[in-house]
């Protein structure tokens, strides 16, 4: 491979894919649609390849089309921009390729995949694949026009979280994963039937190792080939939209794996990562951390966020491991991290990056949502940037999840001593726009499934889980449930197989599925349960202090004119008769949902469909009613006859 100067650059056909202005904006970190000019751009008669590798002394594109011969298709530098390009006639859709680079001293580097590739080979093969991503015919215009209202914090948002590789397999076909097109039929219909509003996928960017679940991506611009090529992923999104489902993707800008074909020391230098391991190495995951302070690197990531939203009509991004980005000392001991310019532990460059990301995507794609997986008390995660926040639309409520799961794991006889774990979340429930997550992280690494974390025998576990889901759906905050939870899968999640569909068909477990469906239906159809999910005015305690009996009760409110909802919880296996609850209105209150109903596998204890409130003040309300609380149950009451 020989070096080339800018003076002898003669593209094989046409002009440079990057104008002088585009090159300037790339170097300034303001070329927002990077994917339109870098990577493998299919053109008439061939493909143009463009690459950023500023510290390489030579570059070439190699592949099946030139027998991996670096001398066949050398790349030409574009001045001092750090960009390289070449046009290869006859190369098109499906061609495998990599880049052969020499470092600044002329030493040959490992073959590198394209950072902006639109496709990759099936793992464990690592070559990039030319994909023409233009020309898709979308059929989701009605959804796109209406989605802003579906992603708003006043909307009902109930998310089914999915690892596509292990939701369902084809056992008769060597246990293969579903294709995107198969998921467009089977998964979409399943989730829509359960009443969820959104599908959230664990990362679908290309990644070399199945066991990472996608959280160590190498090809940020490539939908993983495990399920099909890019257009078929679009088929899945399109199908979801036409069925009334939003699509969220887990997105990983926090770190990347050190695989030699990836971004690590891409041009012989720490190009994408920090040189100093105190800033550039992540001890928890043995990964590398992006240099958010480098303009071109931040632009690479910002452009990628916009790419998924624009090119694939994705409705939102859930940003993984935000806490690890915010703090320089995350998982580090004293002496293993470098303070910021003010001497503090906050990663100012990462904070600026996240703020810019949220400003960009909300500005360019109105109606989308961004979600932060952030496990600390960092202030203003879902506050607008102009108010000093990070600018996310929503934040996962990790504290609520930890506290309530710990409470539910207690034997009911001991729950009186842990009562505050169920009430503490209200103290901060409205400080952010929260999503209540029962996610994949809670059913792996020896934690067991949600089912196994409930106390008691089989029947008690199911009753506890039914009550817990009732508590979650009645509590302020949007909802998220990882696949398998909807039928109380007994086994811990394993990414190498599929969900336990045989158990899902059993009547006792199918009752949990019916409950989740009915909770979603009630949540979506009852404004008081979602319109003020993120506002203190939408919630009022009726009973928060009855630790002795493990009872809780509260009211939910929507906008003026929306009927209120009373939510009553009994977390002991003891039936409570003639329990008086305060209510804001006299008259009949319909039992809209009872988690102990026989339909769900319960004992069918309750109130014969309704209670009658009279003008007897109680619990700070002008009226009250006598109620029967079934064992291990949650009840929802709404005023009215129907």
Structure tokens at 237: 């999104």
DSSP letter for 461, please. Answer: H
Q: Is residue 482 included in any domain, yes or no?
A: no
Q: Is residue 462 included in any domain, yes or no?
A: no
Within 500-609, strands assigned E span 539-546, 551-556, 565-570, 576-583, 587-594
Q: Where are the alpha helices (DSSP H) in 475-576?
A: 501-504, 507-525
The CATH number of whichever domain residue 625 belongs to comes to: 2.60.40.1180
The model's pTM is 0.95
Question: For this structure, is 152 an active site residue?
Answer: no
The CATH number of whichever domain residue 358 belongs to comes to: 3.20.20.80
H or E element that contains 281: strand 281-282
Q: Is residue 197 included in any domain, yes or no?
A: no
What is the C-alpha to C-alpha distance for residues 67 and 95, in angstroms, rounded to an integer?
12
In this prediction, residue 7 carries a pLDDT of: 33
285 with 245: CB under 8 angstroms? no
- The one catalytic residue in 320, 374, 432, 533 is 320
What is the C-alpha to C-alpha distance for residues 391 and 359, in angstroms, rounded to an integer?
7
58-63, strands of its sheet edge to edge: 58-63, 96-102, 128-129
Q: Is residue 185 included in any domain, yes or no?
A: no
Q: What is the mean pLDDT of each run of 10 residues along the chain (642 residues)?
A: 38 60 89 95 95 97 96 94 95 97 97 98 96 95 96 97 97 95 98 98 95 93 98 98 98 96 97 93 92 96 98 98 94 91 95 98 96 94 96 97 97 97 97 97 94 98 98 98 98 96 97 98 98 97 98 97 97 97 97 98 96 97 98 97 66
Q: Is residue 432 included in any domain, yes or no?
A: no
Say yes or no: 206 and 122 in one domain: no
Chosen domain end from 129, 152, 179: 129
Q: pLDDT per residue over 480-501, tens digit each?
A: 999 999 999 999 999 999 999 9
| Domain count across the chain | 3
Q: How far is CA 29 from its chain centroid?
A: 26
Q: Is 347 helix (H, G, I), strand (E, B) or coil?
A: coil
Chosen domain end from 129, 159, 188: 129
65 with 93: CB under 8 angstroms? no
Say yes or no: 238 and 360 in one domain: yes
331 lies in which domain range?
202-395
The CATH number of whichever domain residue 120 belongs to comes to: 2.60.40.10
The set of long-range contacts for 329-337, using a CB threshold of 8 Å and a minimum separation of 24, is 331/282, 331/283, 331/284, 332/278, 332/283, 336/278, 336/283, 337/278, 337/279
In this prediction, residue 450 carries a pLDDT of: 97
Question: For this structure, is 373 an active site residue?
Answer: yes
Say yes or no: 216 and 356 in one domain: yes
Q: Is residue 117 included in any domain, yes or no?
A: yes
What is the C-alpha to C-alpha distance for residues 409 and 415, in angstroms, rounded to an integer?
9
| Residue 445 half-sphere exposure toward CB, CA atoms < 13 A | 6
- The one catalytic residue in 235, 373, 442, 518 is 373
Say yes or no: 221 and 361 in one domain: yes
Chosen domain end from 331, 362, 395: 395
């Amino acid at each position: 491979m020989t070096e080339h100067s800018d003076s002898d650059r003669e593209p094989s056909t046409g002009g440079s894919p990057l104008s002088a202005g585009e090159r300037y904006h790339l170097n300034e970190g303001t070329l927002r649609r990077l994917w339109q000019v870098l990577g493998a751009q299919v053109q008439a008669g061939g493909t143009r390849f463009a690459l950023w590798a500023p510290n390489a002394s030579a570059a070439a594109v190699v592949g099946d089309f030139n027998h991996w011969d670096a001398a066949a298709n050398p790349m030409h530098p574009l001045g001092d921009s750090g960009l390289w390009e070449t046009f290869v006639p006859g190369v098109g859709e499906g061609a495998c390729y990599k880049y052969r680079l020499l470092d600044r001293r002329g030493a040959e580097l490992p073959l590198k995949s394209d950072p902006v590739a639109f496709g990759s080979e099936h793992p464990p093969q690592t070559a990039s694949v030319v994909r023409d991503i233009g020309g898709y015919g979308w059929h989701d215009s009605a959804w796109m026009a209406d989605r802003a209202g579906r992603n708003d914090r006043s909307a009902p948002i109930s998310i089914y979280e999915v690892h596509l590789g292990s939701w369902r397999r084809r056992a008769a076909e060597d246990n293969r994963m579903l294709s995107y097109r198969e998921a467009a039929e089977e998964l979409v219909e399943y989730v829509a039937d359960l009443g969820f509003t959104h599908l959230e996928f664990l990362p679908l960017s290309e990644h070399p190792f199945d066991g990472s679940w996608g959280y160590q991506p190498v090809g940020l611009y490539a939908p993983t080939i495990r399920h099909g090529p890019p257009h078929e992923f679009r088929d899945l999104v399109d199908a979801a939209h036409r069925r009334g489902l939003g699509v969220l993707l887990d997105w990983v800008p926090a770190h990347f794996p050190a695989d030699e074909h990836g971004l690590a020391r891409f041009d012989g230098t720490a190009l994408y990562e920090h040189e100093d391991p105190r800033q550039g190495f992540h001890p928890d995951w043995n990964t590398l951390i992006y240099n958010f302070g480098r303009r071109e690197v931040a632009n690479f990531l910002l452009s990628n966020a916009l790419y998924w939203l624009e090119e694939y009509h994705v409705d939102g991004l859930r940003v993984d491991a935000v806490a690890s980005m915010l703090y320089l000392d995350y998982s580090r001991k004293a002496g293993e991290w470098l303070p910021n310019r003010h001497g503090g532990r906050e990663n100012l460059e990462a904070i600026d990056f996240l703020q810019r990301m949220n400003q960009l995507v909300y500005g360019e794609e109105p109606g989308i949502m961004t979600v932060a997986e952030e496990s600390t008390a960092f202030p203003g995660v879902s506050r607008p940037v102009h108010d000093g926040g990070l600018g996310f639309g929503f934040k996962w409520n990790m504290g609520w999840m930890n506290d309530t799961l710990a409470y539910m794991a207690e034997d009911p006889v001991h729950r009186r001593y842990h009562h505050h774990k169920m009430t503490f979340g209200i103290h901060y429930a409205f400080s952010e726009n929260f999503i209540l997550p029962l996610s994949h992280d809670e059913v792996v690494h020896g934690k067991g499934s949600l089912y196994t974390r409930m106390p008691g025998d089989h029947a008690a576990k199911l009753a506890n889980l039914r009550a817990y889901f009732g508590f979650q759906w009645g509590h302020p905050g949007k909802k998220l449930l990882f696949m398998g939870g909807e039928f109380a899968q007994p086994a811990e999640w394993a990414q190498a197989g599929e969900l336990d569909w045989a158990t899902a068909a059993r009547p006792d477990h199918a009752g949990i599925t019916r409950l989740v469906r009915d909770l979603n239906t009630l949540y979506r159809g009852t404004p008081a349960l979602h319109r003020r999910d993120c506002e203190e005015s939408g919630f009022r305690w009726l009973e928060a202090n009855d630790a002795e009996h493990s009872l809780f009760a509260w009211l939910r409110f929507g906008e003026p004119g929306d009927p209120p909802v009373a939510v009553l919880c009994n977390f002991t296996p003891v039936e409570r008769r003639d329990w008086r609850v305060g209510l804001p209105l006299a008259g009949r209150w319909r039992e809209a949902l009872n988690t102990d109903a026989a339909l769900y596998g319960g004992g069918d204890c309750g109130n014969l469909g309704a209670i009658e409130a009279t003008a007897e003040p109680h619990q700070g309300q002008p009226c009250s009613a006598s109620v029967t609380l079934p064992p291990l149950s949650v009840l929802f009451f709404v005023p009215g006859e129907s």
